[in-house]
């Protein structure tokens, strides 16, 4: 069955520290993976997708098929990065993980 797991409900880091939000997926085939973000009082929006291999707002994510992971990373966290982050597996039915709340402390 297709599944997305985000093991951390809450991640708290200090400003300037590296951050990694974990995502593991279960899918038989070539996955299409995404990270969505929801800032306070804003709608859910796409942050990045693995297929484009781009860096958005300093965030990157590498697809590791061997470990079935798609962790989101940023070398230096900023206070404005505080938000809810959802990993998603695309396809006919986009499946979301439960989300990780990132809190960046000053």
Residue of 11, 13, 44, 56 interacting with another protein (CB under 8 A): 44
Q: Is 97 in the site for another protein (CB under 8 A)?
A: yes
Q: Is 66 in the site for another protein (CB under 8 A)?
A: no
Beta carbon of residue 13, minimum distance to another protein (angstroms, whole number): 21
Are 96 and 87 in contact, with CB atoms under 8 Å apart?
A: yes
Task: Report which of 76, 82, 6, 77 is spatially closest to residue 41, judged by C-alpha positions.
Answer: 82
Are 40 and 83 in contact, with CB atoms under 8 Å apart?
A: yes
Site for another protein in 14-33 (CB under 8 A): 32
The contact set with another protein (CB under 8 A) reads 4, 6, 9, 32, 34, 36, 43-46, 49, 51, 86, 88, 90-99
């Amino acid at each position: 069955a297709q599944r997305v797991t985000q093991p951390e409900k809450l991640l708290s880091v200090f400003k300037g520290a590296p951050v990694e939000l974990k995502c593991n997926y279960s899918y038989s085939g070539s996955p299409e993976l995404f990270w969505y973000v929801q800032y306070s009082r804003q709608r859910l929006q796409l942050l990045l997708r693995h297929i484009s291999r781009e860096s958005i707002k300093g965030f990157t994510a590498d697809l590791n098929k061997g470990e079935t992971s798609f962790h989101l990373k940023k070398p230096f966290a900023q206070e404005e990065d505080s938000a809810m982050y959802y990993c998603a597996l695309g396809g006919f039915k986009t499946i979301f993980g439960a989300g990780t709340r990132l809190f960046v402390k000053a």
